[in-house]
Amino acid sequence: MFVPRVSLPEHMPTLEGQWFVFDDRQNVLLIDGEVPVGLEPPVAVPQPHLLGLDDGRPVRTGLARIDDDGGMELPDGAAWISMREAFGAMSDIDWAMAGRGAQVLVWDRDHQFCSRCGTATDPHPIDRSRVCPSCRLMAFPRLSPAVIMLVERDGEDGPEVLLAWGRQFPGRFFSALAGFVEPGESLEECVIREVREETGIEVDDVRYFGSQPWPFPHSLMIGFNARYVSGDITIQEEEIVEAGWYPADALPPVPRGGMSIAGWLIEDWLRRVGDDSLG
């Protein structure tokens, strides 16, 4: 069982553990296709961070040090791999831990100085935070909550879902709608607002589906199902290229399962409507 910690218990013996090491482009280091294990990091890591204990063994992360020539010496069998490529190349547990490490490193990099008074910050000895020694402002790891929702309706020929091609996708690729939560807004209110803003559709019956930490760079994706109430599709052109209602047997290119909660939502809907094409 993994237990998050920022420091080791007193008098804990020195034990080997996993090292999730990243470069400055957020690629993770694998050796012979595995997360390296050892007493020390596989490459120079100036300021390692303890993520926690996994079955009593330390799990650490760190940003690799680039040498004066702009590179670094790697152990035999070592290779950098992007977090997206790492999905499927490492276990689900390791991928989730790598995502945790990546987010810790982004937070640490971005909070070296106090955002209130500009003083250099210090790591807190107990909490996952950086503290300003001047004004005492504490900076905890940033987490950006975002909702992602699959809107359903009963079409003339059977069940349909609302899918959109967002401008963030370079090719024609559709997914569930999503958006970030505003201050003072509940998750359910955010679902209703984002669907209305992006497509002009009104929904209700907003039901929680599940959540997923999303380390690109530091989001928490919170999934929902919702039911169509009224309206015709009018896309928000700044965000959406194309949107439409699709039956299970005529879906456009979409995520199906895989690494993201968008794929999980779509896969769940296909199972519920009895589509055999899921495989």
> Does residue 200 sit within a domain?
yes
Q: What is the CATH number of the domain that holds 267?
A: 3.90.79.10
Query: For all residues of the chain together, what is the average pLDDT?
Result: 94
Q: Both 198 and 125 in a single domain? A: no
Q: Which are the contacts of 78, defined by CB distance < 8 A and separation ≥ 6?
A: 29, 30, 31, 36, 42, 43
* pTM score over 0.85: yes
Domain count, the chain: 3
Indicate whether 42 and 75 sit together in one domain.
yes
**131 and 148 part of one domain:** no
Q: Using pLDDT thresholds of 50, 70 and 90, give the confidence band for residue 70.
A: low
State both tokens at 130.
């950086």
The yes-or-no verdict on residue 55 having pLDDT over 90 is: yes
Dump pLDDT digits (tens) for 209-230: 999 999 999 999 999 999 999 9
- Determine if residue 64 is left, alpha or beta; phi over 0 gives left, psi from -120 to 50 gives alpha, anything else beta: beta
Same domain, 154 and 137: no
pLDDT tens sequence across 145-188:
999 999 999 999 999 999 999 998 889 999 999 999 999 999 99
Q: Is residue 279 part of a domain?
A: no
Is 97 in the same domain as 85?
yes
Choose one of 127, 142, 157: the last residue of a domain.
Answer: 142
pLDDT tens digits for range 247-277: 999 999 999 988 999 999 999 999 999 864 4
Q: How much is the pLDDT for 170?
A: 86
The domain of 95 spans 2-110
